[in-house]
Structures are given as structure tokens and as C-alpha cells.
Amino acid sequence: MNYSKFAALLNDLENSSKRIEKTARISHFLRKEPADIAEIILLMLGRVYPVWHEQKMGVSTSTMIKAMSSSYGKSVNTIVALATKQGDLGLTAQSLAKTKTQSTLFDEKLSIKKVFDTLKKIPCLEGKGTVNSKTKLIASLLAHADPIESKYLVRIVLEDLRIGVGIGVIRDAIAWAFLPKVIGIVEDSTDLENKSDPKSGSDNSNKSDNDAKPSHDKRPDSDSEATVFDDFDENNPDHIQKVAESKVITSYEDSISRKIYNHIIDTVRSAFDKTNDLSKVAVIASSKGLNGLLDLNIEIFKPINVMLYPKTGSLEDGFKTVGTPAAIEYKYDGFRMQIHKNNDEIQLYTRRLENVTSQFPEIVGYVKKYIKAKTAILDSEIVGIDHDTNKTLPFQKISMRIRRKYNIRELVETVPVMCNVFDLLFIDGEELITKPFRYRREKIISMISENVYIRPAKQLITEDMNEANLFYQESLNLGNEGIMMKSLNGPYKPGSRVGYGVKIKPVMDALDLVITGAEWGEGKRAGWLTSFHLSCIDDDGNLMSIGKVGTGIKELEGDEVSFNHLTELLRPLIINEKGKIVQLKPQIVIEVLYEEIQKSESYNSGYALRFPRFVRIREDKPVSECSTITIIDNLYTEQRQRNL
């Protein structure tokens, strides 16, 4: 397929403001252009490999500027000046491509395959001359790209597409495109060709995933045999699955159709949560339909989206949510690690699905030595440990171990860690995620030989409030963050905050926010970024600004995070600079405390934080797990109620 068609789609997506319209555009495209589905999906996410793959694009803004300079025959300074004015290297490429002679353009039309295959070579380049080779590869594509193609080529390579399409939209688009039950609706509901002004109308990008469904099917219900649902048994998931496979839904107005629609969307979601690869999900949906997606299994060495736990305010609420008796565990103050084992091969992944195997050789050793299973996928919390006192250390003391790529052996000695296993997803050929927690826990206990380095999380099963309270206090006294309460019958739901488990911790709710921009300091702080622009996310993962923070960061280097440290961390993420203000790739998540959440028109979340204070860098959290606007809405409401 021609890359130009894909670039035109990206342009349309950028110009559409409504979620439903974006979803429909992508689904039409996927259906009309069934070739190269996997490549299209990955490129739309600004990637060439799935998120968990070791290979990352890793092209810096300065390498891109060099490539543009060589392709357009302009000096680096000219390009930087233009980019500063336009605020986006993609736009700069678009305008420079307009001035290019037409001759090269028509020698060779770029195909999706050509673009994808060329970009795929970039992450494999290593060693001396890498920057030059990367520059050449990018320039070779830009040479044949027209203005719109160039804009998106540059943005894809910089992994910053700016089309307002998150994973949720693509996931729904896959369902609309390939799962026949939804097709009829989409065709009627979104008249893309006759959109008068795509920017008009309300933006519903804030709505939850299931709100993305087309709302106005125009065909009468009686038109189709598909809307007759005899003996619909809404409590029987197998029955819903059968109906979803065999009938076409033509209306969302009735509750049965909604149920079926939700089942279809949930099936795509769960296929994604198991594989973490939307390109694979799209290929299976298009070739094997709903049943094919249901057959997808978790696989060793492909990390799974972890299950999340909502917060609850009290033990009473905890018991209400998870049932009695409940499994109560220490909530360790460390970072989450997903451990994959296949005989002697061990791979370790963070909650952001980054591969950190080489950073934790001792954990690899413990797993080899003490985990009896041949194959297994474990969910665990790594904590720092003082071997002299046998006490755990706070997270801040060990956070550097996640990023550090050198002197690992020395760090293993000076910053030792141990592993608390709290869940098990797979063991010796048996997938456990649908099995009750009680069963998974039994397997954890029998799988680990007695030792002090890798242990089952400390657990108490009780329905007694006093016992639970004592356990909670014991956990806090040992320096843990609080407790987890888990349903003994609950499955492991990858990627969801479902209420099969909740967390309880006493501290005021800190927010996890992503840094999207910053400001250079003045005077003695010149040369450092000193004020950091923060965003939360909406339910689709879109960023929403919520304020700035500059307090809580140290001027001097030491144990705590300093301005210099943050500046060095953020420097490679600078996308654009205007005066004192830099725009950053949203990648670094930090924990922020505050006195109060206030309504504000200055930020597009609608909120601002009063007296925000930096607490720590959340090395372990991906942007997709930042505090959501829904959480902030709730905190704001709670705060108002407290103040009444």
C-alpha cells in the first residue's frame, strides 16, 4: 500500500476532534486496506516494535534535525530556527518538503512496507557511526516523501504523532473493522465523507471506553433478523459469546445489544492485555474473528499488562469490595516486577513492560535457584533490604537500580534487593489468570523453595476486623506502605482495576503525574530545569494539564532528587524550546503531594494543585498509569465533602 494513503489518514485523524470519528476513520481504513495491517497499527502508535520489545526507535531530536538538514539541503541552524517558530519538527519537515523540487518525489512512491522496513533497521544500529547511519536511513525516506508524508514520518520516528489517538481508540477501531457484528452500525453512524467541519461538535475524548460506541443507528430494529434475541441469557458468558459470534447488532438502544457490544469490546481489550501487541490483535481479529481472539494465550517472554488495584478508604470498605474471608497482604514499598521463566532463561520486566533483566542479575539467580517450576510467569514486588538488620529500605533507596546500566555488580552489593511474589499467571503449561486467587496462591507456596531472597508475600486470610487491623498496623510498623486486600475467588484481570483486590494506605492521596514541559532556571539555578509542567490523563490516556511544580527538589546532589538530576533525565526528552520554556516527550512520571485541588481555567484538566510538592520519581510507572481525571474528579468531590 502507498504510504501516502496512510499519511492522509493520519492527517484526517489529526483534524478530527471527536473520538467516535477517529475510531470510525481508522476502522474504515483497516477494512478498506486489509494489507499491511500489522505495520499500520504499529506505525499509528509511533512504533516499529511492540512496547515490550527490547528494540526501541531511540532517535533524538538532534539526529532528526541532521537528517532533515541533509535531505533538504538546509543548515542545522535554519531548521532549529524554523522548528522553534513552529513548535513541531513535523511541521518544519512539511514546510521544507513543499519547497523541494518535485523530481525526486516521483521517482519512487513510498510504500508502507518500505517505510516500515527502513525504520525497523534504526533500532538495530549499534556502535561507532550509529548517528550517521540513522541519519542516512531517515534522510533516504524524507527524500521521497511529499509534505504530508514528511510531517508524519518525522513524528513517527520521534514517537510523537500528535493525532490524539490512544490505545483505546485503536482497540475499538479493530473491533469495528473486523468483528462483523459491529460493521453495520459503523457504516450508518459516521458519515465521514460528508463531514462539514470535523472540528465542530463536542469533543467526547473524555468519555470512557464503552462510550465510544456509535449512538445513532438509523436502521429500524425490525429490519434485521439479527435484533431478535430469543431467550437471551445475560448471566451466561458462553451464551453471550455465541450470540456475539452469530448475530449482527443493529441498534444500541436496547440493553441486549449493548451487552453484546461490550462483550466484543472486552474481548478485544482482553486479547490486548494478554499480548500487549495491538498489531497482533488486529491481525487475529481480521483473520480469525472473535473466537480467534478468545484463543489467544499469554506467552512467556511477552509481558502482560499487570492487574491494578483501586484504593479503598477503610478495612470495612475493603471487606465489602473483595468479600469475606479475604486474603490480606503486606503492601511492600518497592517496585513491581514481572518475572518470566523458561527453564534456565529468565527475563524481568517492570510495570512499564521494560526489560530490566541485566539490571538485576541477583534476581535472575534467585529465580533459577529457588523457583521449582520449569516455566512460570510471576508477579512480584522488589524491595531494598538491609542484610545486617533484615529491615526493608524505602523505595527511594533502590529506585536507581531500575535505570542504572553500568557497575551493576557493585550495586548488587551496595543496594541489595529481595523479591516478594504476590501472584502467579502461568506455571508449567497451565494458564492461571482465570483461576481463583486461592488456587494461584497455593501454587506460589509450593513453587518456591525455602529461602530469604525470593518469598511468597506475607499473607493473612481472615474475616475478622480486629485481626485485619492488627495485620495492617504490623505491616506499617515494618515500614511497608499499607496492605492489599484480595478476593480469594478473584481471577487475575490483566490491565484492569476491577476490585478483585484493593489497596489501603494511610497517607494522603499523592498524584502520579507526567512531566510534559519545564522551564529553565535563572541566577544560580541557570542551566537547570526548575519548574515542571504536569499532566494527568483522561480515560483514553490523553494528556490533560494540571499545573506546575518546583518545590521538593533539592539544589545539592545527594540521596534525594536534585534539579541537576531531573534536568539530565529530561534533557534527552526535549522536543522543542521557546525562550525559557521547553516542551518534553511525556515519559517521566513523578509523585506529587499538594494541599488542595482547586478548579482552574488555566489548565485543560479544569483543575490546579495548591502548593504542589515533588515527592519522588515513579521510575516504575508508565504514563498510562498516571492519575486519571476521574480520580482527580473524585478527590475533588471528597475534598469538598470533607470541607462541608
Residues of this chain that interact with ligand AMP (CB under 6 A) are 309, 329-332, 336, 381, 422, 457, 484, 503
Between residues 338 and 516, which has the closer beta carbon with respect to ligand AMP?
338
Distance in Å, CB of 422 to ligand AMP, minimum: 4
The amino acid sitting at 611 is F
Distance (Å, rounded) from C-alpha 411 to C-alpha 630?
Answer: 39
Between residues 243 and 504, which has the closer beta carbon with respect to ligand AMP?
504
Burial of 487 (0-12, 13-18, 19+ CB in 10 A): buried
**Which grid coordinates are listed for 85?**
517558530
Nearest CA to 511 out of 492, 479, 531, 534 is that of 534
- Please list, in sequence order, all residues whose beta carbon lies within 8 angstroms of the beta carbon of residue 362, skipping any fewer than 6 positions away: 412, 416, 417, 453
Q: What length does the chain have?
A: 644
Distance in Å, CB of 507 to ligand AMP, minimum: 10
Distance (Å, rounded) from C-alpha 373 to C-alpha 440?
Answer: 13
**DSSP 8-state code for residue 94:** H
Distances (CA, A) of 159 to 58, 534, 573: 9, 20, 11
Distance in Å, CB of 7 to ligand AMP, minimum: 39
Distance (Å, rounded) from C-alpha 58 to C-alpha 352?
Answer: 17
Distance in Å, CB of 240 to ligand AMP, minimum: 30
Between residues 306 and 534, which has the closer beta carbon with respect to ligand AMP?
306
Distance in Å, CB of 431 to ligand AMP, minimum: 20
Catalytic residue among 331, 341, 435, 585: 331
Instruction: For residue 640, list its beta bridge partners.
Output: none
Helix, strand, coil percent values for the chain (each to nearest 5) = 45, 20, 35
Task: Check if the beta carbon of residue 279 is closer than 8 Å to that of residue 120.
Answer: no
Between residues 408 and 510, which has the closer beta carbon with respect to ligand AMP?
510
**Which grid coordinates are listed for 241?**
459469546
Distance (Å, rounded) from C-alpha 381 to C-alpha 379?
Answer: 7
Between residues 207 and 331, which has the closer beta carbon with respect to ligand AMP?
331
Distance (Å, rounded) from C-alpha 182 to C-alpha 189?
Answer: 11
Between residues 329 and 540, which has the closer beta carbon with respect to ligand AMP?
329
Between residues 269 and 503, which has the closer beta carbon with respect to ligand AMP?
503
Helical ranges in 343-449 per DSSP H: 361-370, 395-398, 400-403, 408-414, 437-447
Distance in Å, CB of 276 to ligand AMP, minimum: 16
From edge to edge, which strands make up the β-sheet containing 501-504?
A: 459-462, 326-331, 482-487, 501-504
Between residues 172 and 423, which has the closer beta carbon with respect to ligand AMP?
423
Which residue number is nearest to ligand AMP in terms of Cβ? 336
- Number of neighbouring beta carbons within 10 Å of residue 180: 15
Distances (CA, A) of 458 to 331, 366, 474, 485, 500: 9, 18, 11, 12, 18
Q: CA angle, 55 as apex, 53 and 58 as ends, to 5°?
A: 130
Distance in Å, CB of 299 to ligand AMP, minimum: 22
Nearest CA to 143 out of 80, 198, 96 is that of 96
Distance in Å, CB of 379 to ligand AMP, minimum: 7
Distance in Å, CB of 332 to ligand AMP, minimum: 4
Burial of 396 (0-12, 13-18, 19+ CB in 10 A): middle
- Sign for the pseudo-dihedral over CA of 264, 269, 273, 277: positive
Distance (Å, rounded) from C-alpha 548 to C-alpha 533?
Answer: 4
Between residues 195 and 336, which has the closer beta carbon with respect to ligand AMP?
336
Between residues 422 and 563, which has the closer beta carbon with respect to ligand AMP?
422
**Which grid coordinates are listed for 625?**
498509569
Distance in Å, CB of 329 to ligand AMP, minimum: 4
Clarify whether 331 is annotated catalytic.
Answer: yes
Nearest CA to 161 out of 169, 38, 133, 113 is that of 169
Backbone phi and psi for residue 66, each to the nearest 5 degrees, phi listed first: -60, -45
Catalytically active residues, by annotation: 331
